[in-house]
Structure 1
Amino acid sequence: MKIVVIGGTGLIGSKLVAKLGRLGHEAVPASPSTGVNTLTGEGLAEVLTGAQVVIDVTNSPSFERSAVMEFFETSTRNLLAAEATVGVEHHVVLSVVGTERMPENGYFAAKIAQEQLIEKSGIPFSIVHATQFFEFVRGIADEATDGGTVRIAPVRFQPMAGDDVAQAVGRVAAGAPLNGRVETGGPEQFRMDEFFRDALAAWGDSRQVVTDPQATYFGSVPGERTLVPGDGATLGTIHYRDWLAKNTPAK
C-alpha cells in the first residue's frame, strides 16, 4: 500500500516512514526538502498519485496565534483538495490530546480548525490525539522559565516517546478509517510539577521548579485533565526514565 507521510522528514514523520517500510508498505516521505509544499501546493499532485493513505504530521513553524491558524487551515485545505483529485481513500492526521478542553489556546484552536476541515471534506479519515512528546519536555521547561525558576501547574501530565507516537499513528493508518478520533498517551501519569522537578534533577539542571496553579502552558492555564487522555486510550510502552537513559532531551 502506498502511504504518503506529509512531514515525513521530521521527528515523527521519519519514524513513521521507517516503521511503515518495515511492514512492507511503500512509505513516501513528503516535505519541502523533497519538493512538496502544502502551503503552496507544490508537488502535491505528483507525490499523491497512486496513494491509498495520506498521513499528515506537519507542524507550524510559528506558534503565534494568527500564523499557526493560517498554516493549518491553508495546508490542510490544499492537501485535502489534492487528495480528492487523485482519490485518496484514508486521511490520517496527528493532533493533540486536550484540543477541545483548551480552545482559548491559539495552537489548540488551530488544530480544532484543522480537524473540522477534515471532518467536512468527505474523505474517510482518522484523527489521532497524542499527548506531549518526551523529545519536547525540555522545551516546555524553557517556555515556563522565569529567571532561575520554572513555573509549572500541578495538573496531570502523561507524555510519551516519539517512537510510541509513530507506532500509534502507523497502526491507525494501516487500518480502516475511523471517521472519528482515537487518543494515545504515555504509559505513566504524573503530576506535571513533580515530573519536571524530577526531570530537571535528572538532567543536572539547577533551575528550581515552582508549583504554580496559575502557570501557563504555551499561553493558557491547563485544567486538571487538559493534557491527559481519557479512558480507553492506547498507551505507549516506553517509560520516560528508560527513554532518558538512551536520549539527550532536545534543547
Structure 2
Amino acid sequence: MEALNVEIKQAGYSENTIIIHDIHFKVNPGELVGLIGPNGAGKSTIIKSILELLPHVTGTVFRPEKHRYAYIPEHPVYYEELTLWEHIEMAKAINGLEGSDYDKQAEELLALFRLTDEKHHFPTSFSKGMQQKLMIIIAILIKPELYIVDEPFIGLDPKAIKDLLMIFEQERKRGAAILMSTHVLDTAERICDRFLLINHGDMIAQGTLADVRQQSGVDGSLLDCFYELMEITS
C-alpha cells in the first residue's frame, strides 16, 4: 500500500484563486520523491493540500488512516515559552511515545546536530539553522511512516546536511516514505528515486531521472532537463 496517493483536480485559496491543476502522484514506502519547481510554481500549495490546510481542494489525498506522518516546514514553528527539551517532551506526550528509548534517541540526535549545550535554551535565541534542526529532530523522534519536508537544507551547515541525508537513508530503510520539496537540484538528483516537476501550478514531468530526460528530450542533469521543460511549458 502506498504511503501517499494524491489526486487533485484543482486547489487554491478560493474557487476564484486556483493555484494548482491536475496534480496526480503516489509516494511508496521506502521511497524519496523530490518535489521540484521555481518559486511560485505551486509546491507549497501541493503540500498544504496534503496537510488539509487549504480552503478549496477538488480531489482526494489518501494516507493510510493509522499511519503517522511528520511535517518539516521551511520556516520553523515553535513555542516561544518552551525550551528545546520541552518541545521534545511535548512531542512525546502528544504522540503517546513513552519509554526510555525515546529519550535516549533524543539525546543522540541532539549530539549529532550539536545542540546538546542548548538543550534547556529557548529556540527564540537560536539561529535559523538551529531552529530547523529542532524541527528535524522532533520529526525523526515520532517515527512516522511518511515525511513531508519543505526545503530542508535552507539554513543548515554542510555537516548538518550530510547528517540529515544519512538519517533520510536510514528512515527509508525502515520503510518510511519521504516527499521533499527542494531547490537544491544537484542533491535531489543524487538522492531521490523519482521527481515531480512543477511549473505554473501544473505537473510538467514526473518519474525517474531517465523518465524526465525522455520527457524533456535532454540527456543531461536534472537541472538541464528542468530548464528545458520550463522553456517548453512557459
Same fold (TM over 0.5): no
TM-score (norm. length: structure 1): 0.29
TM-score (norm. length: structure 2): 0.30
Q: Which has the higher strand share?
A: 2
